[in-house]
């Protein structure tokens, strides 16, 4: 049996002004490590490969060559965590390593913090919830509340949304739509 066609987004790269500053931020906040570094063969600038996983050579590529006056073209880089305490720890680390414009948003289907990294790229750190509501959706998120209050407030808000459903139901519908198109589940 042949493997079904199922592309999986696995990594991204961003141009940087200061590779060492950016490496320090992403390794410090997200426990990534440098897996390789060098000048590209077809991309003639320094490239730093970072990963937080032993089974993935790189998840983030930092490339030199961004002009000092060049604005960021990154909409957002998103990192998934497993608990509210992990979200709080990411906030603490990011602020300690120079993040700015820190803000929390409750998307209903995810609890997120957003900030700007040292070169003004938007970074999101998020935690999935067990619920689905249509996106975009964003209410303020106060991580200084205790976990029970955050979860209760989130559930109360999402259950009033007309698009609300458990995430397992949303996933089942996704699979059904994909199968109707002839794709892999």
pLDDT digits (tens, 9 = 90+) for 43-96: 889 999 999 999 999 999 999 999 999 999 999 999 999 999 999 999 999 999
Asked whether residue 158 carries a pLDDT value surpassing 80, the answer given is: yes
Domain locations along the chain:
11-66, 74-185
Question: Residue 1 pLDDT > 90, yes or no?
Answer: no
* Topology alike, domains 11-66 and 74-185: yes
pLDDT bracket for residue 3 (50, 70, 90): confident
pLDDT of residue 42: 87
Is the distance from CB of 29 to CB of 93 less than 8 angstroms? yes
* Residues 160, 162, 165, 170, Cα dihedral to 10°: -150
Q: How far apart are CA 91 and CA 97, in angstroms?
A: 10
pLDDT at res. 170: 95
Q: Which fold has domain 74-185?
A: 2,3-Dihydroxybiphenyl 1,2-Dioxygenase; domain 1 (3.10.180)
Q: How far apart are CA 112 and CA 154, in angstroms?
A: 12
Q: What is the mean pLDDT of residues 140-159?
A: 97
**In sequence order, what are the residues at sequence separation of 6 or more whose Cβ sits closer than 8 angstroms to the Cβ of residue 160?**
none
């Amino acid at each position: 049996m042949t493997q079904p066609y199922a592309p999986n987004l696995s990594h991204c790269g961003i141009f940087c002004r200061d590779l060492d500053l950016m490496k320090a931020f992403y390794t410090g906040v997200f426990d990534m490590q440098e897996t390789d570094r060098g000048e590209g063969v077809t991309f003639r600038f320094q490239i730093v490969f970072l990963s937080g996983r032993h089974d993935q050579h790189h998840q983030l590529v930092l490339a030199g060559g961004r002009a000092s006056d060049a604005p960021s073209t990154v909409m957002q880089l998103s990192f998934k965590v497993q608990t509210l305490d992990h979200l709080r720890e990411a906030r603490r680390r990011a602020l300690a390593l120079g993040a700015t414009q820190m803000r929390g948003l409750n998307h209903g289907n995810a609890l997120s913090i957003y900030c700007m990294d040292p070169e003004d790229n938007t970074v999101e750190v998020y935690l999935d919830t067990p619920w689905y509501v249509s996106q975009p959706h964003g209410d303020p998120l106060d991580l200084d509340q205790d976990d029970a209050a955050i979860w209760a407030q989130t559930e109360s808000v999402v259950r009033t949304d007309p698009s609300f459903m458990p995430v397992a139901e949303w996933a089942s519908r996704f699979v059904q739509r994909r199968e109707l198109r002839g794709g892999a589940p």
